[in-house]
A and B are shown apart, each in its own frame.
Chain A
Amino acid sequence: MAGEGEPGSEKSFKLLGILDVQNIPCARESVLYGSLGSLVAGLGHFLATSRVRRSFHFGMGGFVLTTLGCWVYCRYNHAKLRIQQRIIQEGMRNKILYESSDFDPESKQNKSQGSHS
């Protein structure tokens, strides 16, 4: 068991020493899209206004907003996926347990289809 965690820790890359972008789901994509958003916002503002300092401010704001937006969207979808995985797992387990018994949902479905026809 001591060796299980080590491969994960060798591959970890922590931004600012805290955010492990390799192992946290959605972190890498959020930071990458955030960097892109920062570049677009900062560069775009500079090209439009030629104000260097303010362009950096816009770049920073773009980074924060893009990272946050991408993070919230990705984590929401990730959570939906996990819920679906849990439902499927539960369904598979119940199917194996209840197959051919009175609790089998498939047999109830077939019975109701048979009664309708």
Chain B
Amino acid sequence: MAHPLQLGFQDAMSPIMEELLHFHDHTLMIVFLISTMVLYIITSMMTTKLTHTNTMNAQEVEIIWTILPAIVLITIALPSLRVLYLMDEINNPYLTIKAMGHQWCWTYEYTDYENLEFDSYMIPTQDLPKGYFRLLEVDHRMVVPMESPIRMLISAEDVLHSWAMPSLGVKTDAIPGRLNQTTFTMTRPGIFYGQCSEICGANHSFMPIVVESIPLKHFENWSSLMLS
């Protein structure tokens, strides 16, 4: 989860999020260089005593400030398209999980083998044990096996919701009557937090998402426990 006053991204927990972080670093460096250059040009223009009151044409500078921005845009666009197509790759998921948005909880369905279905409600602050995160913890976490490609099918039963998990780089709208698909692979074990990202009523801020990533063997034990 995010730490207090955090501005940047959370640590990446999936290969796609790692790629997004790297693309962000690349774009940020370009933005930094452009900002530095613009600041310098402004300072330079404000500190000269020279003026030119009879400018008729400026072919050279017009060419430069057309070609250079085009090059900058291509430098940003090519890695961006690469990440975009990486996100759409088909990677033979081992497991399919359905997440249904309700007002105001999520329902997770594991229906590949048996019919496992449970609701995930936020734990109210008054019931929260010590050391747990306020407005982020849920009674039943979505448990997934680590290092396995997972397919998520996301929809909603009533109004628009959005299933968002910053550390996985996933934010997918849950639209009633529509199935949206996203895939991810958890690279490390742990517990990861997200929140509903589409306004859905009074308790929109109180329907968090918690994903727990565990080794496959423990996942099998967990699913047997949940089914019994």
A-to-B contact residues, CB < 8 Å: 1-6, 9, 15-16, 18-20, 24-25, 27, 30, 53, 56-57, 60, 63-64, 67-68, 71, 75, 79, 82, 86, 93
> How many residue pairs between the two chains, A and B, have CB atoms under 8 Å in the bound complex?
64
Whether B2 pairs with A19 at a CB distance below 8 angstroms is: no
Instruction: Convert B20-47 into 0s and 1s, putting 1 for each residue whose CB lies closer than 8 angstroms to a CB of A.
Output: 0010011011111101110010001000
Whether A9 pairs with B36 at a CB distance below 8 angstroms is: no
Give residues of chain B (1-60) contacting chain A, Cβ–Cβ below 8 Å.
1-6, 8, 10-11, 15, 18, 22, 25-26, 28-33, 35-37, 40, 44, 48
**Does B191 belong to the interface (CB within 8 Å)?**
yes
Complexed CA–CA distance, A9 and B54 (Å)? 52
Whether B8 pairs with A20 at a CB distance below 8 angstroms is: yes
Complexed CA–CA distance, A24 and B31 (Å)? 14
Partner of A75, one of B3, B26, B36: B26
Partner of A2, one of B4, B36, B37, B44: B4
Complexed CA–CA distance, A30 and B36 (Å)? 14
Complexed CA–CA distance, A56 and B28 (Å)? 24
Whether A64 pairs with B11 at a CB distance below 8 angstroms is: no
